[in-house]
Structure 1
Amino acid sequence: MPKAMDQHVQETFLYLSQASQNTWTPNTDVYETPDVLVVKMELAGVEENDVTVTVEGRLLVVRGVRHDPCRQKRCSFQQVEIDYGPFERRVLLARPVAGDRIEVRLSHGLLTVQLPKAS
């Protein structure tokens, strides 16, 4: 129980530190297979060259920007629900991973990061 509580506190701290910045936070799923941890993020409209993925120990950090197509134009909005600008998501991984062997793919608006488990 204390270990689960400690992880919950760490995840809450990560969420609050992200929320306090001037960024948006993409929706994220994290799951595990026998060999890898998989992190998926909704990044519709984000270009591959506008995303960076880093791993430091058990912390995965995804940063980038979704450009606002109306920024350079004169737009009169009827409704605004999509977040634009910089984003950041920090994910505390459940176990150590081989950070030098991660695979990253952005396809159809989903970023998929596969992190092989450390031996």
Structure 2
Amino acid sequence: MTTLGERLKKCRNTAGLSQNVLAIALNKKGRATISGWENNRSDPSLSDLRKVAEILKTTVSHLMGETPMFEEPRENYTIIKKDDLIELQRKALEREEEKNKSLAEELGKSRTPEEKK
């Protein structure tokens, strides 16, 4: 399981920011604060964590490890409720079944009487 520091570092690197740039964006005196967080020597305050999440275009829950860490940019993913996903899958299966029935009917109509035997 990854730590807050590891997730923070990965998100920072994905965003293409140095520790120094992140520190400046957070109005910190230097990169030592960010380094301390990433090396799990200290923890950011909730206020700092919120700012970090906003800057890195992620969520506090993601940084805290409550949601999965995406290897690709977040815009390649959609978060959907489990029940909604199940409903979409059910509808897709129903449509596929209807399509198969329609094709079977068309196939049955196109057969010659001898082929139907």
- Under TM normalisation by the shorter chain, which class is it? under 0.3
Bigger Cα Rg = 2
TM-score of the superposed pair, with normalisation by structure 1: 0.20
TM-score of the superposed pair, with normalisation by structure 2: 0.20
Q: Which structure is higher in helix share?
A: 2
Higher relative contact order (CA 8 A, sep 6+): 1
